[in-house]
Structure 1
Amino acid sequence: MFQHILIATDGSPLSQRAADTGIALAHSLGAKVHAFHAVMPFPAVAYFAEMLLASQAQYTEAALAQAHQYLDDVRQRAQAAGVACEASFAVNAHPHEAIIASAREHHCDLIVMASHGRHGVESALLGSETHRTILYGALPVLVCR
């Protein structure tokens, strides 16, 4: 059935539960996993560029350290379950695009990710990367809540 599962993580407790679900599924199928995190780029406005240089460097350093931490967590969970795991991240203002591209690049056949279950105005304002991944991707998506 599924041989290579992409696990998208944002480091949240809900995302960690989704990672555990994806890892358990991979274990039961004899599949491998690919942990992935989309790093949001530093929001910059052109006329503030000089003022933001130090802040941008600090943000980038912290965001990349955080990405490595999230991915290491999934790697450790996979290793504990005896599941092969690779990991990567990408910087993209649209996480769903990065998730879909990574799944394609790594030849994954399933995406596992969490949904925070936003509704109403909150959903309309913040959107849902999970929903966008389902809409714009060509792979099946297992959504964990």
Structure 2
Amino acid sequence: MSVVPEVSSAPSSVQPEGLFQRILLPIDGSELSLRALATGLELAKTFGAKVLILHVVPPFNSVAYMTEFLAATELRYSQHAVQSASRYLDQATELARQAQVPCECHYVFGERPSEAIVAAADEHHCDLIVMATHGRSGLNRLVLGSETQKVLMRSRVPVLVCR
């Protein structure tokens, strides 16, 4: 004989724990990614989870001519990209602090953000990814691709997609 616990519709002060312990929150600095970050922080607070906030910096791409000029341009790009990543992550860290959610922040250089996101989820043993989608459709989606779609296809953990 099995016993089915009674389910109450009254609000409970008991918070669910253990479902998610480490949540990956990739951000790109856009308003959409910050809204997904807020959703991820709410979930983390609800489940008592820690978060890993990740920003993927695309590497400098160029045609290989005028080597000295391009080397200087690549260095400036890298410095600017790291400053932008730090700014995004500082903002995300402050939001996590305000939500009282423990967080760790990283940025990585990568040509394929979806691969970097899936690799970070594996490497840091995340059990959920919460990310935004820009909601492109038609030709824009075909030409630009969808990093979120690629994460959905490759991830071994659940992915919550926010719009």
Is 1:29 the counterpart of 2:47 in the alignment?
Answer: yes
Structure possessing the higher radius of gyration over alpha carbons: 2
Amino acid at match of 1:138: R
* Distance in 1 of aligned mates of 2:66 and 2:162: 40
TM-score, normalization: structure 2? 0.86
Aligned to 1:54: 72
1:13 and 2:14 correspond: no
1:89: how far off? 1.1
1:49 shift after superposition: 3.0
Q: What is the aligned partner in structure 2 of residue 142 from structure 1?
A: 160
In the alignment, structure 2 segments of 5+ residues that lack a partner are 1-18
Q: 1:64: which partner in 2? A: 82
Structure with the bigger RCO (C-alpha within 8 Å, sep 6+) is 1
> Structure 1 runs of 4+ off > 3 angstroms?
none
- C-alpha distance after superposition, 1:47-101 (max 9, x if no partner): 3433211111110000011111111111111110110000111101000011111
CA shift at 1:33, angstroms?
0.4
Q: 2:62 pairs with 36, 44, 50, which one? A: 44
CA distance in 2, matches of 1:41, 1:50: 18
Residues 1:89 and 2:77 are matched in the alignment: no
| Higher share in helix | 1
d(CA) in 2 for partners of 1:35, 1:114 = 13
Partner residue, 1:102:
120
1:79 to 91, 97, 105: 97
Aligned length: 145
Task: Give the 3-state SS of the residue equivalent to 2:65 in structure 1.
Answer: helix
Out of 128, 131, 137, the residue aligned to residue 113 of structure 1 is 131
TM-score, reference length from structure 1? 0.97
Matched AA of 1:97: E
Which residue of structure 2 lines up, in the alignment, with residue 126 of structure 1?
144
Deviation track 1:84-131 (CA, whole Å, cap 9, x = no partner) reads 000111101000011111111111100111000000000000001100
Separation of aligned partners in 1, 2:61 and 2:43: 37
Larger mean CA deviation between 51-60 and 116-125 belongs to 51-60
Alignment-mate amino acid for residue 143 of structure 2: L
